[in-house]
Amino acid sequence: MTAEALSGCPVLHSADEPRLDFGGTTPYEDYVHAATLHDLQRPVTDEPLERSFLVVTQVMELYFGLLAFDLKYARDRLAEDDVRSATAALRRCVLHVKALRAAWLPIARMTPREFNAFRDALGEGSGFQSAAYRHVEFLLGEKSASMLVPHRSVPAQHAELARALAEPGVYDAALALLARRGHGVPDDVLNRDLTRPYTPSPAVEEVWAKIYATDDGEPVRLGEALTDVAEEFTGWRHDHLMATRRAMGSKPGTGGSAGVSWLEKRARRDLFPELWTARSHV
Ligand code: HEM
């Protein structure tokens, strides 16, 4: 801060310098709410690494919310046959998940001793209880009514997740669009129970195989954007699994699961399954 600013006298600035004097808070603060953000870091121990863990977790939480926003946007544009905007939104999603994966760096190599130094203070808290993450999974087709249970006591959060459970995911919207364009997506797939996880269909595999074999332009670009989202998201799950193995071996999780063996099962699942299996038939 300059001497003038500290003394409270009017501050002169030349045209090519940033403005220094503001009546109240800065416009940056008004837009970003940086003070509020910084106030949200409340570690529960004095371990310096716990602050990294908390900030990384909060950054990831924000990205889960952003990802849900853009996945919904992509789904809604697909429903309006606006494939260009939908594909652009999916491309943004790929970059969000790349950023999510890079965010692991400060905590990816925690040793068990470092993690133990603050682990007990986390109590039963686990990323498993993230409503935003669950919303993302629902939009990616991984539906599960039981995943609403942890959110029963927070009505607004529960209602949002219940809505997402019953609504189409981004892949449902992509298949409905292909059906409108004359591709043979069967009715039982189009009218499936949306509250259940998406299950692979040989007929959908055939649709994608035909699209990829004939290079249909827009549908292939959509298929590739969806495949990129799937690959990066699986990559995040894998990064999480590796960080967990390094930090706690095969101990049970704070959320009550078996830990690594439970995460391994989750990481093996493929998103948008026919986009992977169709490739064997092209
Ligand atoms: C190295 C530190 C971490 C360890 C050791 C760890 C461990 C675990 C374990 C064992 C689970 C299974 C559920 C349980 O019993 O708790 C889990 C789930 C989960 N964790 Fe982490 N975690 C870590 C960091 C993070 C971070 C930074 C995030 C970001 C928000 C996160 C998000 C999640 C999510 C979303 C789930 C649920 C996954 C699913 O439902 O498939 N974790 N974690």
| Buried b or exposed e, range 60-73, using 16+ CB within 10 angstroms | beebbbbbbbbbbb
- pLDDT, residue 8, reads 54
pLDDT tens, the chain, 282 aa long: 444 444 555 566 678 999 999 999 999 999 999 999 999 999 999 999 999 999 999 999 999 999 999 999 999 999 999 999 999 999 999 999 999 999 999 999 999 999 999 999 999 999 999 999 999 999 999 999 999 999 999 999 999 999 999 999 999 999 999 999 999 999 999 999 999 999 999 999 999 999 999 987 999 999 999 999 999 999 999 999 999 999 999 999 999 999 999 999 999 999 999 999 999 999
Calpha distance 94→82 (Å, rounded): 19
- pLDDT, residue 3, reads 42
- pLDDT, residue 1, reads 47
Phi-psi region of 197 (alpha: psi -120 to 50; beta: other; left: phi over 0): beta
- pLDDT, residue 282, reads 97
Measured torsion, CA atoms of residues 95, 98, 100, 103, in degrees rounded to the nearest 10: -130
pTM to 2 decimal places:
0.95
Q: How far is the CA of 225 from the centre of ligand 1 (A)?
A: 26
Cβ of 256 less than 6 Å from ligand 1:
yes
Calpha distance 266→277 (Å, rounded): 19
240 is in an annotated binding site: yes
CA-nearest residue for atom 3, ligand 1, is: 244
Q: Which residues fall within 8 angstroms of residue 219, CB to CB, at 6 or more apart?
A: 83, 178, 181, 183, 211
Q: How far is the CA of 220 from the centre of ligand 1 (A)?
A: 34
151 is in an annotated binding site: no
- pLDDT, residue 13, reads 64
Which of ligand 1's atoms lies nearest the C-alpha of 254? 16
Q: How far is the CA of 55 from the centre of ligand 1 (A)?
A: 15
269 is in an annotated binding site: no
Cβ of 131 less than 6 Å from ligand 1:
no
Q: How far is the CA of 68 from the centre of ligand 1 (A)?
A: 18
